[in-house]
Chain A
């Protein structure tokens, strides 16, 4: 081979290596970018849990109101009368939401007993149950993130502390 041919070959090899490296670089750049976008999407989705626990006590279907003015608490009567079908489908999507009685703690043995209308009308309420269900969703065997926060719960005669729990299926 002549020298010019050798140099042509050398140039072709250099260009080939350059493009291979460029392709590898672009591949990694885009895969990292895609990962970044994906993790941002996951973070946004995960943030819906804290946003929900912060905002739910202020939804008109749960917030206490006395004589037309809103109070910073959750009314147990409103929880019991909540039918779950009032336009919260997207907010509550793939989530189990409930309120545990946290302080004073429920008496032994009733922590897992649902507080429903029948229990509410019973004379031994609230000592006969341990939690109020806002929205049910089967989370068993699924990957869930659990968010919880204390909230003031208004019983007709007093305030106690409940724990609002959101189990969000990933």
Chain B
């Protein structure tokens, strides 16, 4: 090979190396996903669960009290024949009013069949925000309230 050819190959190698270095540099400087959205959703799910628990369903009865009645024999309360049914309706009404663009799920672990949900959040696909809270219902028993939601697919792009 002549000297000119060798230098050409050298130049090509340098250009190739520069492209590789530039590519890595651009990859590293790619903007990271914002923490603000995650922060907002995390605050929202915890606040909503807290606000819901305190909500006065009828005079003298918060949702906490209605859930406790549900656990302790499903007595009639606030004019409703079933406290479990009333608790479910209340959770559903509040969630539907405040989570218009979300899919949600509210579960009480210790109560069989106590699940209020709308749509579905898929783990690993949707960004799911969740919160958990405990509720003491007397007699040393407690209930675990789990609340989670995610943006509906059609709404998640319109941020």
B54–A159 touching, CB < 8 Å: yes
Instruction: Choose one: B31, B47, B54; the contact of A149 (CB below 8 Å).
Output: B47
Residue of B whose beta carbon sits closest to that of A28: B25
Number of A-B pairs, beta carbon distance below 8 Å: 78
Q: How many residues of B contact A (CB 8 A)?
A: 25
- Least CB distance from B48 to A in Å reads 4
Is A144 in the interface zone, CB < 8 Å from B?
Answer: no
Is B52 in the interface zone, CB < 8 Å from A?
Answer: yes
- Least CB distance from A152 to B in Å reads 4
- Least CB distance from A13 to B in Å reads 12
- Least CB distance from A25 to B in Å reads 9
B54–A50 touching, CB < 8 Å: no
Within 8 A of B (CB), among A20-59: 21, 28-29, 32, 35-36, 39, 43, 46-47, 49-51, 53-54, 57
Instruction: Give me 8 A-to-B residue pairs in the complex whose CB atoms sit less than 8 angstroms apart, sorted by A's number.
Output: A36-B29, A43-B36, A46-B34, A148-B44, A149-B47, A158-B56, A159-B54, A161-B94
Is A73 in the interface zone, CB < 8 Å from B?
Answer: yes
Is B39 in the interface zone, CB < 8 Å from A?
Answer: yes
B94–A151 touching, CB < 8 Å: no
**Known contacts A36-B29, A43-B36, A152-B50; A50 and B43 CB within 8 A of each other:** yes
Residue of B whose beta carbon sits closest to that of A32: B29
**Chain A interface extent, by class:** 20 to 34
The interface residues of chain A lying within 8 Å CB-to-CB of B2 are none
A50–B47 touching, CB < 8 Å: no
CA–CA, A54 to B18, complex, Å? 47
Is B82 in the interface zone, CB < 8 Å from A?
Answer: no
**Known contacts A103-B98, A163-B98; A150 and B36 CB within 8 A of each other:** no
Is B117 in the interface zone, CB < 8 Å from A?
Answer: no
The interface residues of chain B lying within 8 Å CB-to-CB of A32 are 25, 29
A160–B39 touching, CB < 8 Å: no
Binding site for B on A (CB under 8 A): 21, 28-29, 32, 35-36, 39, 43, 46-47, 49-51, 53-54, 57, 72-73, 102-103, 105, 147-152, 157-163
**Known contacts A46-B36, A73-B54; A151 and B98 CB within 8 A of each other:** no
B54–A103 touching, CB < 8 Å: no
B43–A102 touching, CB < 8 Å: no
Instruction: Choose one: A28, A49, A103; the contact of B55 (CB below 8 Å).
Output: A103
The interface residues of chain A lying within 8 Å CB-to-CB of B54 are 72-73, 152, 159
The interface residues of chain B lying within 8 Å CB-to-CB of A160 are 55-56
Within 8 A of A (CB), among B96-148: 97-98
Residue of B whose beta carbon sits closest to that of A161: B51
The interface residues of chain B lying within 8 Å CB-to-CB of A53 are 40, 43, 47
Is B69 in the interface zone, CB < 8 Å from A?
Answer: no
Is B81 in the interface zone, CB < 8 Å from A?
Answer: no
CA–CA, A32 to B27, complex, Å? 12
Instruction: Choose one: A47, A72, A163; the contact of B39 (CB below 8 Å).
Output: A47
Instruction: Choose one: B34, B40, B47, B62; the contact of A150 (CB below 8 Å).
Output: B47
CA–CA, A35 to B93, complex, Å? 45
The interface residues of chain A lying within 8 Å CB-to-CB of B43 are 50, 53-54, 149
